[in-house]
Amino acid sequence: MPISNFPIDSIRRQFPALNSTDGFIFFDNGAGAQIPQSVLDAVCHHLVSRNVQRGGRYRRSQEVDASIQQARQSVATLLNARELSEVAFGMNATSFIRIVSLALSEIMGERKEIIVTDLDHEANIATWLALESKGAKIRWWKMGEDGTLHVKDLEPLLNSRTHLVACAVASNALGSIVDVKEVASMAHAAGAEVFLDAVHYAPHGVIDVQDWDCDYLVCSGYKIFAPHMGFLWGKRGLLEALPTFREDFIPDEIPGKIEVGTFVYENVAGMNAAVSYLEGLGGSLLSDSPSASSRERLVAAMEAIREYEATLSAEVLRTLAELGDVTVYGVREPGQLKQRVPTICFNLNGVPAARVAVFCAENGIGVRDGNMYSPRLLRRLGVPPETGAVRASLVHYNTVEEIAKFSEVLQRISRH
């Protein structure tokens, strides 16, 4: 979608944090995005009108049950899940990775090899490494010198002992996108399963678990314009086979056997509202197709976001190239922007990453510095994780005008 046709002004009006008087620029969305007013309203409505436990026989409790079911339908539509029961809610993606990893450790059988990558967030690495004490053998799928994973490097790692391939859909540090559909095809040909971390990719593009043919997928709402919560998707048969902790009176059925304990219901209501926000965006782009389904509206929104964000990626990369004395990590060629999301990791040569982040903060711009929870990745790049790099992570409510201000601040840092 041409940048001139993307409804950026109406989008920004829906986010209270973007309309405050201080004019702060949010370029740290990889650590958590802002929420639209409709999400805030949904959370407040839940706390005021139905802040009770589910499963009761009175109206407010029944409204909680209905709210959770509606959110499950929304997330299932967002993911293109086959059925609602394949979606489980909880605290965050990390806890779900741990739940699945512990369960798989009990049923690995003779297939004990797990493939992990050095591109991933540490949560999708260390959690699997912990299974070595339970007999798992870890094999490493190494990132290429261009800062992305190549499926040709995965093929020689797969064999009859491979149980699982665990990888991100997009790197939270570099923004590189992985061809997960091809990953699943290769893994399944070897009889293995695929576990995807979609946390960083989710706000940037279409998720389609049926098309990707993955086996498990985790995500967190706080990057998708919702409050802090997490959800797990898995193929029904695989989820049913997982041995999970539950009290004896809880049926061995999904998703209940995975959702043991009380999660944050108001945040799930917020997640439902966040999906509705995206669906509304898609609906505005399909105004000539009033009968479009919820899934069609969501796909339209995410495809438009991908196109608009490509212009943001190009502009940030152009800005950094103009600085000259800067090292940009990962995909940076203009012709390869489809292989990344607008998450740019870099270092100004001779200027500590922490100093860059502080100077940006002093000038009203939020960026992240450090290891981005990906210390292994930084070591591969030759960057000490202790000092790390700078990350500017943008989403669809950011603008070219904000990037221009960012450029001015970076130029001042470079000069001094």
The single residue listed with the structure tokens 């939020």 is: 366
> 387 and 354 in contact (C-beta within 8 Å)?
yes
Mean pLDDT along residues 57-85: 98
Q: How far apart are CA 157 and CA 135, in angstroms?
A: 18
Instruction: Read off the pLDDT band of 414 (50, 70, 90).
Output: confident
DSSP string, 130-142: GGGGGT-EEEEEP
pLDDT tens digit string along 336-387?
Answer: 999 999 999 999 999 999 999 999 999 999 999 999 999 999 999 999 999 9
| Residue listed under structure tokens 């959702």 | 259
Which pLDDT does position 3 carry in this prediction? 60
What pLDDT, on a 0 to 100 scale, did the predictor assign at position 246? Answer: 85
For 40-275, CATH gives 3.40.640.10
Residues written for the chain: 416
Cα(71)–Cα(267) distance, integer angstroms: 10
Pairing of strands 368-370, 216-220: unpaired
Closest C-alpha among 100, 119, 47, 64 to residue 257: 100
SS3 state at 33: coil
> ∠ CA(233), CA(271), CA(26), 5° rounding?
110
The architecture in CATH of the region 3-35+298-415 reads Alpha-Beta Complex (3.90)
pLDDT at 7: 97
Tell me what percent of the residues of the chain surpass a pLDDT of 70: 99
By the 8 A CB rule, do 384 and 351 touch?
no
pLDDT at 4: 65
Could you state, in order of their start, the residue ranges of all structural domains in the chain? Answer: 3-35+298-415, 40-275
Q: Is the dihedral of CA 271, 29, 228, 231 positive or negative?
A: positive
* Strands laid side by side in the 389-393 sheet: 326-329, 343-348, 389-393, 368-370
R_g of the chain, CA atoms, integer Å: 21
pLDDT confidence bin for 402, thresholds 50/70/90: very high
> Which one-letter DSSP state was computed for residue 182?
H
**Residue 37, H or E segment:** helix 37-49
End-to-end CA distance of the chain: 39
In this predicted model, what pLDDT tens digit does every residue of 24-69 receive, in sequence order?
999 999 999 999 999 999 999 999 999 999 999 999 999 999 999 9
Nearest to 225 by CA among 33, 358, 17, 58: 33
Main-chain phi, psi angles of 345, to 5 degrees: -110, 130
Q: Which residues pair with 195 in a beta bridge?
A: 166, 216
pLDDT digits (tens, 9 = 90+) for 138-181: 999 999 999 999 999 999 999 999 999 999 999 999 999 999 99
Q: How confident is the model at residue 324, as a pLDDT?
A: 86
Tens-place pLDDT, residues 96-136: 999 999 999 999 999 999 999 999 999 999 999 999 999 99
Residue whose token pair is 């976001």 = 305
| Of 8, 107, 1, 4, the residue nearest 399 (C-alpha) | 8
pLDDT tens digit sequence for 313-335: 999 999 999 998 999 999 998 88
Quote the tokens at residue 141: 């799928």
Q: What is the pLDDT of residues 235-256, one digit of tens each?
A: 999 999 999 988 888 899 999 9
